[in-house]
Chain A
Amino acid sequence: MKYMFKYATQRILLMLMTLLIISFMCFVLIRMLPPAPLEPGDPHTAVIEARRAAMGYNKPYLVQFGIFLRNIFTKWDWGISDKMYFGREVAAVFAEKLPASMIVNVYSIVLSIPIGIALGIWAALKKNTMTDHLISTLTMVVISVPSFVYAFLIQYFLSHKLGWFPFLMKGGTDFFTWEMFVSMLPPVMALSFGVIAGFTRGTRAELTEVLTSEFMLLARTKGLTKAQATIRHALKNCMVIIIPSIFGEFIGILSGSLIIEKIFGVPGVGSLYITSINGPDYPMFMMLTVFYTAIGLLSGIVVDISYGFIDPRIRMGSRK
């Protein structure tokens, strides 16, 4: 446990350093982009230039980065959007838009992980039968088709032809009403197909391998039934691979989906990153960079540490 704590501390310190370096690199790179050009002779150019100068954009990058850090550490001020959401605090805009992305992704994961794992187990147990071939073929097809194709198919058949669902996610923040839930089903479905296929394929591959292991033979010879051996031994071993994937999916909850959110009108954070680069909206971009980098790095640590809990054979930070 002591080693684990030491390992975790080291990783967190390394994470902070990495976060700082990545943030600085992104900070410099985004500011190297020229501002969106105006027409030659546009009288507003002077205003834009004056605002940029007042914001310190003409200062050396290190000075600008210093101001950025100063504002975060002294006032928790991530800045005010100067392009996409003029005048609004970027953190407030992000906080306003995050729930929609999160809830759609949570529904998608809650729907797709059990289905994906169940189909994977079924295919593995029925290896080399028609059921396995059918599931595997469908899985490959679904993985190969981009999610926006499902999105348009869902809109065309389920929303337009059958009228079962609205075209767009409902507006407002009443995320737990029936009406909202129904309106979220099309994006949830479009997001889920790929995830289901991914988990099906992963589970099947891993379980198939485990089921043919020698320890499974030993378990059966000890007198366990096939079901007992599969649940107690095979599935547990196969989770070493699957659980980190589940973590990965949950981390993805925070990021949203650019295409699906666009198609279904989900007022989430999916397109924030790309539009903040195109803007360019420096404060928004930097807040997103720091947030997602931190989440990404943190999730790496969590996943690594989780191995130790899932599989006792794996020990983090222990001496050889």
Chain B
Amino acid sequence: MKNALRLVAVLLLACMCVSVLAACGKSNNGTTKGDEPGPSSGVYVPYDPNKSYTYKDAVVQLSSNWNPHTYQTSDESYPVDFITAGLYSFVFNDALHPVEGKDPYSGYAIVPEMAASLPVDVTTEIRAQYPKFNIPESATEGYAYTIDLNPNATWENGEKITADDYVWSMQQLLTPKYLNYRATDYFAGALCIANAENYYYQGTTAYKENSTAGAYSVEDLVKNADGVYCTPDGNKMYIAIGYGLDNWLGGNSLYAYVSHYGEGYFGNLENFATLVAMCDDNGLVPLTDETNALLSSVTTSNPAWGETDADLFNYYIESVEYAPDFSADNIGVFKSGEYQITVVLGKSLTGFNLLYNLSGNWIVYRPYYENSWTYQEGAEGEEGIWTTNYCTSLETTMSYGPYKMTQFQTDKSMRFEKNENWYGYTDGKHVFVDPVDGNTYSMYQTTAIDTQVVAEASTRKLMFLSGQLMGYGLQAEDFDAYRGSEYCYATPGSTIYFFIFNGYKAAIDEREAAADFDTTKYDLQTMTLTSFRKAVAVTYDKDLFASTISPARSGAFGLIGDAYIYDPATGARYRDTDQAKLALCEFYSVDPADFGGDLDKAVDSITGYDPEKAKELYNEAFEEALKAGFITSADGEHADQELVIEYCSSAPSDFITKTLDYLNEKLAEVTNGTAWEGKIKFEESAPYGNNWSNMIKSGMSDTVLGGWNGSLMDPFGLTDLYTNPSYQYDAKWFNATAVVKTMEIEGEEITLNLKQWSDALNGATVKDADGKEYCFGEGIVDVEVRLNILAMIEAEVLSTYNYIPMLLDGGMSLLSKQVFYVVEEYNAVLGRGGITYMRYNYDDVAWAAYVEENGGQIAY
């Protein structure tokens, strides 16, 4: 009996253990299996239509204008994802949308959405049939496409969306009468609708900054009979004197600079007065040999301004005169069937980039749109202006996407509910295969989206913990508590933040020569020494820096962030390539051989921090500075002068204070025992406001944590930011045309300067010293060649130590237990699936009960 009891006890214990273990085994979504219905494997699981799943979102700023023709910021476009649909859309690569060579959910596929099928290239036919679109004679593809439209697409009221809607909407978008903000998106970027620019600017003269338009030098231009230079297209060129130059002078005019700084920075003011006298009403002077020489004498003769004749092109303006009365019929979007449009492009676009650029939409609901315009009279002698209130309220909004707007209160809240007329709920195509259970689910399980303004992060946090919000973006003070939570998700950003280090010797000399600068006590010139800059570069542990001052971010080591994809078709990232890894190893002097040739291990070993090396370099810098006469040393071992590095501040902030505290603390640690002990510090500048970048570019301030980002699909385009003086922070002390590099490409030794390598990489045709032409643009050479060039440029720019990478942007957020993502890994295009793929552990009623059970406070 006793043994029987023991046996029963053992069996019971075993059962309990099994039960406990089973209960501990969480499903992928972080809930127990018992919380979810258990569908059998590989079946289609429809959602219960009788249950409601409300996604509760919070924003700091509520959109007030989601008109596709006029919205300006990403905050404003918030509703667009819900109430509209693009011609094509992105979906994860799952069993229904497989991508060769990619594991499920590691990439994406592009599928027709408002289109019925993929675009058909009709370049040859359209070129022959419609000469008005000016498709180049040599072009056989990439300029014209027919797109079949989804015949099931309707507005939320059930009215069909036809080709007429697309054509009419494009004409409204581009009409010069309305001056729509988004019009330029359809001709100034990659997606360039044929004749859109001519229609939009008809009858006007546009002035384009040469530095961002053609970047013509005088040699590239054609001289007219009257001596005025023109572009090869015949557009007149001018010199901007009283005309503000956004790109080159931060919106100021040369006249403003010369008036302010005078002889201190410019030469030959008499010649400048001559130029001013020649200005037209716009502050422009025609570009001739004579005016160019006058300009050169002003901007290049004073070393303080530090420009050469090679910089003159930045002051040129190209005037483009557009023909008047340009008909809307000439716009490259026209109806070729009741449910078919033809799109003609001014610039070739193919493959992924074409579909990517058609993943948005421009259509508007005609009855609402036509009634939305108000005319405001202009000043006497001026045309008035039209302003629309389309898509600024519930009454002026007509959805055609998966959701429709059902409530809107200015600066308070908006609500979206399922649009029962959306084709996607019934076409059987908007489904996905779950990567874990293999079952097929409908997209858009969310039945409603409630969005409200919650301005304060602390309120958002409390609401989230009370189960009233679906997500909460962690603040600095939350990281310790939540970064280890299984509901915490990291989202990498695209921006790299680096210290831009002042190396502009002429400006530094000028500052030291100022009357109030005591050279016996202070020094700035040492900053320009490479040894000193190298020392600073290895003074800081990048990851520690990030976790101290901005925990959501991580340390950065290269100039190009982790999120950049070099092959959009596969989602392959630049930073994962051998070329990128080797570039980092080269810059940080890490030998992969020390890691058995394992590049990943070699890169993982890089921290950017080497205090011993830093000490050596600081001492080396001391010797060099002493030798150069930058500093003195009474005892021969320590610098007499203090090196105060001005941190360029746009406005005081906690972030800057924390940054400087950290920098100074670590600097003191590393310089301890060196010749610079207690002699170097970072100090915050006076607030420079928007002028901070000019202060850095002109060498009047010494460092700042700045950053660049670009298109995530185009890491190659980033090279322009570091080699083109129009963008460079260090243009005054780093000339990319003076750095010559030789590379072996497809068996040929090619020698070009760094700027040429960058230009050629981005599709321009450049000539080497022998006049031989090269272009390494997309589709022209193998992608491996392009990666080699990109890595070479990255390593070369890093080696200047003008940019010291410090932070990789990113964020962390908590996700409510009510929902879960179908995929953990962040995808650069789809994120973690968003509303489209969002799945629910609890419907609204069950969630309310769960929150109640937990006393209104959910633990994460």
Contact = CB atoms under 8 A, between A and B. Distances in A.
Interface of A: 34, 37-38, 40-48, 50-51, 53-56, 59, 63-64, 67, 71, 79-80, 82, 84-88, 93, 96-97, 152, 155-156, 159-161, 163, 167-168, 171-173, 262-263, 265, 267
A96 B189 CA distance: 39
Contacts of A37: 251, 690
Contacts of A40: 212, 246-247, 250, 726-727
A47 B690 contact: no
Contacts of B727: 40
Nearest to A172: B409
Contacts of A168: 452, 454, 459, 463
A86 B64 contact: yes
B179 A167 contact: no
Contacts of A172: 409
A265 B374 contact: no
A43 B690 contact: no
Nearest to B391: A87
Interface in B373-406: 374, 376-380, 382-385, 387-390, 392-393
Interface stretch (B22-30, B88-96, B410-418): B410-418
A156 B856 CA distance: 12
A51 B385 contact: yes
Most central of B180, B247, B455, B690 by chain A CB within 10 Å: B455
A110 B821 CA distance: 49
Interface in B180-210: 180-181, 183-185, 188-189, 206, 209
Contacts of A55: 376, 378, 385
Nearest to A54: B385
B844 to A, nearest CB: 16
Contact of A96 (B383, B410, B726): B410
B466 A267 contact: no
A47 B180 CA distance: 7
A152 B376 contact: no
Contacts of A51: 179, 385
Contacts of A155: 458-459, 462
Contacts of A173: 409
Nearest to B181: A47
The 7 lowest CB-CB distance pairs between A and B, nearest first, are A43-B188, A56-B379, A267-B412, A87-B389, A43-B184, A54-B385, A41-B212
A123 to B, nearest CB: 34
A38 B385 CA distance: 21
A97 B459 contact: no
Contacts of B384: 54
B301 interface: no
A160 B246 contact: no
A80 B387 CA distance: 8
17 contacts: A37-B251, A40-B246, A40-B727, A43-B189, A44-B181, A54-B382, A56-B382, A63-B379, A87-B372, A88-B392, A97-B411, A161-B857, A167-B459, A167-B468, A168-B454, A168-B459, A171-B412
B379 A64 contact: yes
B819 interface: no
Given A51-B179, A152-B458, A262-B456, 16 more contacts: A40-B726, A44-B72, A44-B181, A47-B183, A53-B382, A55-B385, A67-B377, A80-B374, A85-B392, A86-B67, A159-B462, A168-B452, A168-B459, A168-B463, A267-B409, A267-B453
Contacts of A159: 462, 466
B376 A80 contact: yes
A85 B410 contact: yes
A220 to B, nearest CB: 54
Contacts of A267: 409-412, 453
B465 interface: yes
A112 to B, nearest CB: 23
B813 interface: no
Contact of A87 (B70, B183, B379, B413): B70
Contacts of A167: 454, 459, 462-463, 466, 468
A86 B459 contact: no
B528 interface: no
A115 to B, nearest CB: 27
A9 B185 CA distance: 57
A82 B179 CA distance: 13
B489 to A, nearest CB: 23
Interface in B433-468: 452-456, 458-459, 462-463, 465-466, 468
Interface in B460-479: 462-463, 465-466, 468
B365 to A, nearest CB: 15
A72 to B, nearest CB: 13
Contacts of A85: 64-65, 392, 410
B413 A171 contact: yes
Contacts of B455: 262-263, 265
Contacts of B389: 87-88
A265 B455 CA distance: 7
A18 B412 CA distance: 35
Given A54-B384, A267-B411, A67 B379 contact: yes
Contacts of B179: 47, 50-51, 54
A231 B398 CA distance: 64
A79 B387 CA distance: 11
Contacts of A48: 181
Contact of A41 (B64, B246, B412, B465): B246
A267 B407 CA distance: 14
A56 B378 contact: yes
B187 to A, nearest CB: 8
Interface centre among B410, B459, B856 (most CB of A within 10 A): B459
A160 B379 contact: no
Contacts of B409: 171-173, 267
B70 A265 contact: no
A318 to B, nearest CB: 49
Given A55-B385, A155-B459, A171 B452 contact: yes
A87 B452 contact: no
Contact of B65 (A46, A86, A171): A86
Contacts of B181: 44, 47-48
A46 B269 CA distance: 31
A80 B72 CA distance: 16
Contacts of A42: 246
Contacts of A53: 382
A257 to B, nearest CB: 13
A178 B830 CA distance: 43
Contacts of B70: 86-87
Contacts of B459: 155, 167-168, 263
A37 B694 CA distance: 14
A37 B693 CA distance: 13
A54 B454 contact: no
Interface in B324-342: none
Interface string B137-151: 000000000000000
A235 B653 CA distance: 50
B392 A265 contact: no
Interface string B268-300: 000000000000000000000000000000000
Nearest to B197: A43
A159 B857 CA distance: 11
Contacts of B183: 47
Given A55-B378, A80-B387, A87-B390, A265 B453 contact: yes
Contacts of B690: 37
A191 B392 CA distance: 32
B392 A87 contact: yes
User: Which of A42, A43, A67, A86 gathers most chain B CB within 10 Å?
Assistant: A86
A54 B378 contact: yes
A60 to B, nearest CB: 9
A308 B856 CA distance: 56
Interface in B202-239: 206, 209, 212
Contacts of B189: 43
A7 B468 CA distance: 57
B208 to A, nearest CB: 9
